[in-house]
Amino acid sequence: MSPFQPLQLPNGATLPNRIGKASMEENLADATQGPSTELLRLYQAWADGGAGLLLSGNVMIDRRAMTGPGGVVLEDDRQLDKFREWARIGRAQGAQFWLQINHPGRQMQANLGQPTVAPSAVALDMGGLSKLFPVPKALTDEEIGALIQRFARTAELAEQAGFTGVQIHAAHGYLLSQFLSPLTNKRTDSWGGPLENRARFLLEVVKAVRARVSSGFCVAVKLNSADFQRGGFDAADAKRVVELLNALPVDLVELSGGSYEAPAMQGDARDGRTLAREAYFLEFAGEIAAVARMPLMVTGGIRRLPVVEQVLDSGVAVAGIATALAIEPGLPKRWQAGEQQLSAELPPIRWKNKTLAALAYMATVKFQMRRLSHGKASKPNVSPLRAFLTEQVKTARRTRLYKRLMASA
């Protein structure tokens, strides 16, 4: 199937083509946690690049709960004009532009100085880096209800700002994903135990979001095809969650995988599974597509047009591309113009310490995005060590700014 055919979604909205710019964490908020000039410039590059769907990086529903310093927050209407400009830029060339809305749960570093919550008091296991993350506090029933309403409020504000949809992040080990996994959800109440209970938080968030937005506003879910940890959320669980989502007005489900503990979204699996070099999660998609009533999107390592076509021929509706578009944001437009052999990738990082290698990889991707945000060309051959150290310095600075902001709030 040609990736340049439009796709009509269940609510009647249309993607102009079947290439999605998948979410990457930019950490490019301004000093007040709104979209910065640099972030707008980055999305100008992606809007001009020709993808039919743009998904933002993490937009947090609570400024006290951050995946990292420098993240964008949308919890009230104080900075809505900045979001309106962001939405205008992203939609200027006709793409759908959705905000990815998220809460980190236990995946929030201790040095941010904020309370950390999760379904259960289960700490992260990242070897020597575990101490960077505190043991979380188990959420009460009342706190869960308040978080559901926060997701809904952020979605409502996104529509007011002019975005065409939201993606609810229930993957990569963040809060909604923590509820889904039996490794992190040890609850014995109605939010834990059987998968139907563990999926309840996600289902209630989808219902609350849909109740606060118009029917033409898209509501999507990002879901792990598997956590790639023994005893965790697996492909059979993902299939069942999609079956549960079938009963709700969901316009798209994106399949990814992994978490901070097992960063499979970069091609590594902690359970020993070898992931393909491209389209990491495609092997799971066919089985899930057989039961899904909504379109599916698969993201993970895609960087070449033949792989995009392979993904679409498998029955998946949208091919999600992340890192390759941080290197060459114009890939879709250039493919459509006839440059069909064009590809974009980062050199592999072969460090012995897999956790540090994963962090260096993410830093290298952010290095590319930062160059694009300043109107410069990407630099894929940058030294991973240089990118890692640069990101550490910038993160330390952003952390200090965040702590000062929270202290003055």
Q: What is the pLDDT of residues 306-322, one digit of tens each?
A: 999 999 999 999 999 99
pTM: 0.94
What is the pLDDT at residue 264? Answer: 46
Task: Indicate the fold that domain 7-345 takes in CATH.
Answer: TIM Barrel (3.20.20)
Tokens for 223, please give them.
Answer: 């879901």
pLDDT, mean of residues 127-135: 82
Model confidence at 259, in pLDDT bands (50, 70, 90)? low
Query: Which carries the bigger pLDDT value, residue 344 or residue 130?
Result: 344
369 to each of 82, 306, 394, how far by Cα in Å?
A: 20, 25, 14
Model confidence at 228, in pLDDT bands (50, 70, 90)? low
Q: What is the pLDDT of residues 360-396, one digit of tens each?
A: 999 999 999 999 999 999 999 999 999 999 999 999 9
Phi and psi of 307, rounded to 5°? Answer: -75, -40
Residue 269 confidence (pLDDT) above 60 = no
Residue ranges of the domains in the chain?
7-345
Tokens for 288, please give them.
Answer: 């899930």
Q: Which of 99-108, 287-296, 321-330 has the lowest mean pLDDT?
A: 287-296
The C-alpha atoms of residue 163 and residue 335 are separated, in whole angstroms, by 26
What is the pLDDT at residue 218? Answer: 98
Residue 275 confidence (pLDDT) above 70 = no
2 contact partners, CB below 8 Å, separation of at least 6 = 309, 312
Residue 35 confidence (pLDDT) above 80 = yes
Write down the mean pLDDT value for the chain.
92
Residue 353 confidence (pLDDT) above 90 = no
Query: Which carries the bigger pLDDT value, residue 42 or residue 409?
Result: 42
What is the pLDDT at residue 115? Answer: 94
406 CB-contact burial (10 Å; exposed 0-12 / middle 13-18 / buried 19+)? middle
Closest to 318 in 3D by CA, of 61, 87, 51, 125: 51
Cβ-contact 395, 25 below 8 angstroms: no
